[in-house]
Structure 1
Amino acid sequence: MILDYYCTDHEIVCCRVCISNEHRLCQNVLPLELASKDVRKSALLNDVMEDMTHLITTLHALDNNRQSNLQSIEKTKSIITKQIRAVKTKFLKQIDDLERELTTSLSSLQRKHEMEINKQKQEISQVLVNVKENKNEMDFLRDNGSKNQLFIFLRQQVTNIHCAETKIQQIVSDSQEFDITFDEKKDVKLESLGSLLEIVQPCQVQYKQRKCQQAQINAEPKKRIVGFERDTVLKLNTDVIEGLFSVSVTDNNKLLITNAASSDPKLYVYRDCKDYETEIRFSSAPFCVAVIPGTDRAVITIPSEGSIQFINTTTMTKSVKVNMGFRCIGITAGRDRIYVGGKGGTIKALDTNGKILKTIRQISKDIYIMVYNDLQDHLIVRCVGKLLCVKLDGTLVYSKDVSGTGGVTLDRQKNIYVVGFYTSIIQRMSSDGENCEEMLNKDNDIDDPYGMCFNNDFTKLFVINNDGKSVCVYKCK
């Protein structure tokens, strides 16, 4: 059948049969001639043309990106090939150096033993000459001398022979048979010149539907926090607490608090951010905890084991443990990446299953606290005396002097809240690091604070206070 009708209710072109069978109740069925009137001037034509142009532009960009990636891999292959040859040359030079060292040692041993043996040969020659001279003189006296002369000479030779025997015994006792052998190392083998690290990153070309981009509406402005009001102190399910380190809130509104004291290595869990629910014990002290947004999982760092461990935030049970290969302390997470920092300023990027994707080494100091700014794709990193803003490729955006080490968190507008451990002050800094103001201090009972975080609707701020012995709650105004 000919398609000669358009149902605006279902936005579909149809035929007469379809109208009678499937669109009898539709109120807006138009003849195709009427529906297509002025189509060349319609917004539909413009939208479809712009959508196609957007698709073509994105596909060209993707194709260029793939071609650029191919060229990059080819260029990288050439560079790595040269690096491998350089490593090979380095190994060959080391082998030559070892050969020269062994040859020098061989010559030195040879000279040492030659000198000792030649010295003994001289002593032997001297004794031999004396004995031969005495023997020749005795032969002469035996054939030509008188009995008296021969007798006197024989008596002299008894003494000479005794001296010669003593000398020979000394030479024999001092003599050693020297030999030099080469103990070839049986297990000498070169297994590898290095290893290849495959780095996987998301494609830089992103596709967003054009209509979705156009459909943005002016959302209601997010309320800015103007101050804080002291609320309460969290009632902890223990009498003795020391070493509280990090705090975070799950998507299902559970408060997670790590206890980094080696005597009590636990993660405390409070439902609705106020009532004790349970606790999880670890083999070693857990330091920092981060919730993976949009999931029922969190992840903690265990510095003494150089590992991280996943937590199911629904069942509150331990899950997979991943060895990071270095002492890791700070951790933060986005929807598709986990970032772990620690000893020597090392940062490693992982996927949300714990697979290590790449290593960033651009920070010189040890990293204690990290937070991810998903709006700007920046990492806010806390070292001793420093707050750093770092891009995901390790490039430093800015650096600020701060007091000691301590917690860092972000509000709705991505302003940065920074703990001053020694000053007992919490400051708010703009995301660009330019503006800074004091928000809480000792007048608000802040005393040696450390980890902190907001709840999910940014109505409360939780602060580990009193040098890790309590958790104070502040209302946001």
Structure 2
Amino acid sequence: MPGKGHLFSFNPICGRTMASNFESSIQRGCDFIHDFACSACEEDGLNTEAQHFCQQCTKYYCDICVIKHYGLYKRHTVLDRKDVKKWAVAPGTVDVLERCERHPGEALKLVCGDHDQLCCHVCVAVDHRLCSSIQHIPDVARDIRKDPGFRQLPQQVAVLRKQIEDMKNDRKKNSSSLRKTRTAIVDEIKAIRKMINGMLDKMEKTTVQELDRLVADQEMSIKKDMESCTQMHDELKNIIDDIQSKDSSGEPPLYIGFKKCEEKIKQAKEILQNMSSVVKYDLTFRKHNGIEDNLSSMKTFGELNESNVFGAQPCTSLFPRDHVFATEGYKEYNVKMSSDKYNCDIQGMCELPGEEIVISDYHNMTVKLLDQKYRVVDHCDVPMFPLDVCHIGGNEVAVCVDNNDDRHELHFINITKGKLVTTRKLSFSHECNSATHHGNNLYISSHTALYVHTMTGKLVKKLKSGHNTVMRIAISNDGKTIYIANNSNHQLITLDNLGNKLVTFTDPDLRGPTGVHATTAGHVFVCCWTSDTVLQVDKDGKTKLATLARKQDGVYRPTALFFSSRSSSLVVGGCNDTLLVINVR
């Protein structure tokens, strides 16, 4: 047994327990481990972080020691932290690309297969002692240059940097538009002020202060988005530059760069996804009716409302969470193409931030892109029958493609300049009938069960099973509630995110539910194949709030629906060549 004070770790390569040669690093845990330590302080036995580097001396200096250096060598070129990339790497210092981020003084030498994580020896000793798949990086880095993922890194980073830069520019334009909106609202406030004279000073001040507070809040959000874009843009550039500069340094550095870049790409996609949930910040103003008569009882000129146009899921923020929708009219739009061999069977649909619509046509094995007027502007064929479509983030969607036999896939499609481009796919051992996305997870139904996978396809957990009990799924905006269309039992089942059943809802109009959609504001809609109906259900999944459409309104064998933010309407697709658009209020 090892004695106290010694750190032991299991070495999976030689299969024996051995004392960690990083004991000294652990023992000096009270000292900070710096990327660059002051050379002069080190000679005095001190540990001080360097803030400067002299190119002539090739030594590092802290803020105190650099003053002495300036006195001795006035003509030397000294770089500060803003030029840290130009600092030379002293002998024995771990290169930035190969440095462990958790333990900066250690080099990344291993990879944990259980966690798909780069590790130094300290990482293995502390966090991966029980892991069974620890490999030496040079072993797994062989032929990294031939890896398709590695070869696509520059293109992936370039695309992400372009998307980040576009997002930053959009926020900049949005800021200008927001200020113009403020000016217009203030002008309206002042016009009202002139009509009713002396009593309005206090009201004007209160209203403008409230407006400025909302504008400041919105601008702060925009500023944070722009700063995040700048940071991620630069980080992606730096890491891809590092990788490309290491091309002649051997495969291990390239592999490390590859893994780090993959993680950075994942972070960038998450940032873009979160930002894409708000396409535009905006404000509106509505004057109080009867302001002259009720002036004495009012504190402000009118109501200021923020409206954020969501992209990740359609926006219904204009309607309160408990709002019960009423139907104003119906209209049909034909989505059949001249090249279609069969009648359309629309199995899935979603709306993009730019207000385009993506639909899947099961019978014709194609995915179609529609413009704002529901006209087909592009399409791409898939090798099997496409089912549900879910929005991932930005202009990316995922399409369930399944032949009910041996191929169960999720195809990721990017919409670029009005074109559908398939970028990658995931394969599963279970059927892939319906999918929705939240956070870093994919929720996939297989008719008989609900599975949770990571974005790379790794199974996280299985939540529910039963024959034809998991037809389609939706998830609330906060990720806490899951709605399941139970087709065989004519039910809408509501679960928490751990898979615990909260509610089982039935109703005479809920016969053979096939599609379910949850908006960001908490409204829930269901379409039913057997009863040819479209329903609104409360956010808890307990009560029917309204039956919004029936067969006589144009509903026929519906399989998918979503709420369109641009038109305040429900779009329903099924076994015919048309989309039914239900205008609601």
TM-score, normalisation: structure 2 = 0.41
- Report Cα offsets for 1:4-50 as digits up to 9, x if no partner: xxxxxxxxxxxxxxxxxxxxxxxxxxxxxxxxxxxxxxxxxxxxxxx
1:404 alignment partner in structure 2: 512
- Report Cα offsets for 1:125-179 as digits up to 9, x if no partner: xxxxxxxxxxxxxxxxxxxxxxxxxxxxxxxxxxxxxxxxxxxxxxxxxxxxxxx
The reply on whether 1:226 has 2:326 as its aligned counterpart is yes
Unaligned 5+ segments in structure 2 are 1-125, 131-303, 308-316
2:353 alignment partner in structure 1: 251
Q: Distance in 2 between matches of 1:376 and 1:312?
A: 24
2:477 alignment partner in structure 1: 374
Is the 8 Å Cα contact of residues 492 and 541 (structure 2) preserved in structure 1?
no
Q: Which amino acid aligns with 1:244?
A: I
Q: Distance in 2 between matches of 1:284 and 1:278?
A: 19
The alignment of Structure 1 onto Structure 2 pairs a total of residues equal to 262
The reply on whether 1:265 has 2:370 as its aligned counterpart is no
The reply on whether 1:301 has 2:400 as its aligned counterpart is yes
Q: Which amino acid aligns with 2:379?
A: E
- Report Cα offsets for 1:207-249 as digits up to 9, x if no partner: xxxxxxxxxx985873243324113323432364232211111
- Report Cα offsets for 1:359-399 as digits up to 9, x if no partner: 22323234221112113522211222232112222111212
Taking only aligned residues, the RMSD between alpha carbons, in angstroms, comes to: 3.0
1:292-371 matches, within 5 Å, as 292-293=392-393, 295-304=394-403, 305-314=407-416, 315-351=419-455, 354-366=456-468, 367-371=470-474
Helix, strand or coil for the counterpart of 1:443? helix
Structure 1 pair 418–228 and aligned structure 2 pair: CA distance change class (3 A) = farther
Q: Distance in 1 between matches of 2:560 and 2:442?
A: 19
Q: Distance in 2 between matches of 1:282 and 1:336?
A: 25
Q: Once the 2 structures are TM-superposed, how far is the Cα of residue 301 of structure 1 from its aligned partner?
A: 0.9
Structure 1 pair 462–230 and aligned structure 2 pair: CA distance change class (3 A) = same
Is the 8 Å Cα contact of residues 505 and 543 (structure 2) preserved in structure 1?
no
Structure 1 pair 374–458 and aligned structure 2 pair: CA distance change class (3 A) = farther
Helix, strand or coil for the counterpart of 2:387? coil
Q: Distance in 2 between matches of 1:423 and 1:328?
A: 25
Q: Distance in 2 between matches of 1:326 and 1:389?
A: 22
The reply on whether 1:286 has 2:395 as its aligned counterpart is no
Q: Once the 2 structures are TM-superposed, how far is the Cα of residue 250 of structure 1 from its aligned partner?
A: 1.4
- Report Cα offsets for 1:168-214 as digits up to 9, x if no partner: xxxxxxxxxxxxxxxxxxxxxxxxxxxxxxxxxxxxxxxxxxxxxxx
2:570 alignment partner in structure 1: 461
TM-score, normalisation: structure 1 = 0.50
- Report Cα offsets for 1:269-307 as digits up to 9, x if no partner: 1122522211110111111110113x2210011122111
Structure 1 pair 292–273 and aligned structure 2 pair: CA distance change class (3 A) = farther
Is the 8 Å Cα contact of residues 365 and 383 (structure 1) preserved in structure 2?
no
Q: 2:529 aligns with which of 398, 421, 426?
A: 421
Larger radius of gyration: 1
Q: Distance in 2 between matches of 1:313 and 1:348?
A: 25
Structure 1 pair 422–344 and aligned structure 2 pair: CA distance change class (3 A) = closer
The reply on whether 1:383 has 2:486 as its aligned counterpart is yes
Q: Distance in 1 between matches of 2:355 and 2:497?
A: 29
Q: Distance in 2 between matches of 1:400 and 1:321?
A: 35
Q: Once the 2 structures are TM-superposed, how far is the Cα of residue 310 of structure 1 from its aligned partner?
A: 0.4
The reply on whether 1:452 has 2:548 as its aligned counterpart is no
Is the 8 Å Cα contact of residues 349 and 389 (structure 2) preserved in structure 1?
yes
1:134-173 matches, within 5 Å, as none
Q: Once the 2 structures are TM-superposed, how far is the Cα of residue 335 of structure 1 from its aligned partner?
A: 4.5
1:137 alignment partner in structure 2: none
Instruction: Please list every run of at least 4 consecutive aligned residues from structure 1 whose deviation after the TM superposition is greater than 4 angstroms.
Output: 217-221
Q: Distance in 1 between matches of 2:352 and 2:305?
A: 29
Q: Distance in 2 between matches of 1:371 and 1:364?
A: 18
Structure 1 pair 235–341 and aligned structure 2 pair: CA distance change class (3 A) = closer
Q: Once the 2 structures are TM-superposed, how far is the Cα of residue 460 of structure 1 from its aligned partner?
A: 2.1
The reply on whether 1:443 has 2:563 as its aligned counterpart is no
Is the 8 Å Cα contact of residues 513 and 526 (structure 2) preserved in structure 1?
no
Q: Distance in 1 between matches of 2:433 and 2:550?
A: 26
Structure 1 pair 245–333 and aligned structure 2 pair: CA distance change class (3 A) = same
Q: Once the 2 structures are TM-superposed, how far is the Cα of residue 476 of structure 1 from its aligned partner?
A: 2.2
Q: Once the 2 structures are TM-superposed, how far is the Cα of residue 414 of structure 1 from its aligned partner?
A: 1.6
Q: Distance in 2 between matches of 1:323 and 1:330?
A: 14
Q: Distance in 2 between matches of 1:233 and 1:296?
A: 23
Is the 8 Å Cα contact of residues 379 and 391 (structure 1) preserved in structure 2?
yes
The alignment-based identity, stated in percent, is: 11
Q: Distance in 2 between matches of 1:364 and 1:307?
A: 21
Of the structure 1 ranges 455-464 and 233-242, higher mean CA displacement relative to structure 2 is found in 233-242
1:192 alignment partner in structure 2: none
2:171 alignment partner in structure 1: none
Unaligned 5+ segments in structure 1 are 1-72, 78-216
